[in-house]
Chains A and B, each alone.
Chain A
Amino acid sequence: MNHTAPIAEDLFGISWFDVNLANLFMVAVSSAIVFILSVIASRKLQMKPTGLQNFMEWIVEFVKGIISDTMDWKTGKVFLPLGLTLITYILVSNLLGVATVGVIGHDLWWKSPTADATLTLTLSGMVVLLTHFYGIKIRGMKHYLKGYVSPSPIMLPFKIIEEFTNTLTLGLRLFGNIYAGEVLLGLLVTLATTGVPFGFIFAAVPMLAWQGFSLFIGGIQAFVFTMLTMVYLSHKVSSDH
């Protein structure tokens, strides 16, 4: 269980320039899987939908529902591709680590990219930056700045802190859920493989249950992340806030 991350330290001789190669690999794998599945599912589009097209349209309707729950559909329309990509990418990333975990030597190569705080915080940081960008773009600089001091200027520090806590909670919630799932799966695997008497039998049933639960968690977290993205966007974009 002494797994370490395959970190290439001090790249190009720069002291803080560390790279987790497993992260790069898994991000690429997740992106490729999402891209390939989406493209396969949206081939041969027809007026009368069949099979995978129905599934794709269901996802579109689902994300559309999330967006129109939180904001006016007219302004929310532009966020539909973002929401779709977020929910599919995060779902696939979450599920990758549930189904399989790959270890080469002592290095953990195959896992959920969302079980890494760096990556989830990158995603949440990107989302929060997007909320600022669209806030300014759609409602104008004046309204955007006014949002920090309404209803009263006392709110200003809280509003500024809120932006950072939003970023942290959004990223760490996803990370925590998926990481915890993987840790427990790892412990169960260790129990099954390290020679504890009947360890395999003791491990198999909880393993099955926990994998099922992790699937559920993975779906929920993908939904929650997308949902909260849209909520934060609506705070900045909608005129009634």
Chain B
Amino acid sequence: MYSYIDVLTVGAGVGGLRVVDMAVQLFFFLLLLFLVKKFAWGPVMNMMQKREEYVANEIEAAEKSRLDAEKASKEAHERLKQTKQEAQKIIEDAKEAGQKQEQEIIRIARDEANRLKESAQADIQNEKEKALQALQDKVASLSVLIATKVIEKEIDEKDQEKLIHEYIKEVGEEL
């Protein structure tokens, strides 16, 4: 059949140092190393590096904007709180002012009422005096009338006294 020695010659040629083969292998490998580094792996690695930097930048930017948002939110919160306080203060002020005004109004009303009462009393006094004056006038005229009547009748002293009393009583009743 077939000699195994022949089989062993397939491709290998185990024996023998072939310097040219080695030199060519070395040359081709180093050339390939140089070429693929320059034209294939170099650009690929550059692109990966670039992407890495891009991602890092993006993460940094995201972090920064997150911090900004946090800050802004805090600020808004602070401002809201402040506004609430201000509103509270305004309401309290308004309440106080309302109460003050209420008291003022009551005071004014009371004063007015007092003033009206006083003027009414003064009026009453006035009227009373007027009425007394009128009464006095009436008494005087009545006295004159009585005197004339007494004179007309020519009555005695007793009768006269009786008459005067009668008239005075009459006047009293009339009053």
Contact = CB atoms under 8 A, between A and B. Distances in A.
B167 interface: no
A149 to B, nearest CB: 31
Interface in A83-100: 84-85, 88-89, 97
Contacts of B16: 18, 118
Contacts of B40: 35, 38-39, 41-42, 56
B25 A81 contact: no
B9 A3 contact: yes
B10 interface: yes
A45 B47 contact: yes
Interface in B18-34: 18-22, 24-26, 28-29, 31-33
Nearest to B33: A85
B44 A123 contact: no
Given A1-B2, A16-B17, A122 B36 contact: no
B24 A24 contact: yes
B97 interface: no
Interface residues of B, number: 40
Contact of B6 (A1, A34, A49, A60): A1
A3 B10 CA distance: 6
A126 B29 contact: yes
B45 A108 contact: no
B43 interface: yes
Contacts of A175: 12
Given A81-B33, A116-B13, A122 B22 contact: yes
Interface in A11-34: 11, 16-20, 22-24, 27-28, 31, 34
A182 B32 contact: no
Contacts, number: 153
B45 to A, nearest CB: 6
A56 B44 contact: yes
B7 A187 contact: yes
- What does DSSP make chain B's interface, helix, strand, loop or mixed? helix
Interface in A133-179: 175, 179
Given A4-B9, A108-B11, A182-B10, A119 B44 contact: no
B11 A5 contact: yes
B124 interface: no
Nearest to A175: B12
Contacts of A45: 43-44, 47
Contacts of B100: none
A80 B20 contact: no
B22 A183 contact: no
B17 to A, nearest CB: 7
A76 interface: no
Interface stretch (B48-56, B73-81, B108-116, B136-144): B48-56
Contacts of A46: 47
B32 to A, nearest CB: 4
B14 interface: yes
A179 B11 contact: yes
A3 B47 CA distance: 47
Given A39-B39, A116-B12, 15 more contacts: A3-B9, A5-B11, A28-B28, A31-B32, A42-B40, A56-B44, A81-B33, A84-B41, A85-B41, A89-B32, A123-B29, A175-B12, A183-B10, A186-B7, A190-B2
7 contacts: A5-B11, A11-B20, A38-B41, A80-B45, A116-B12, A119-B25, A186-B7
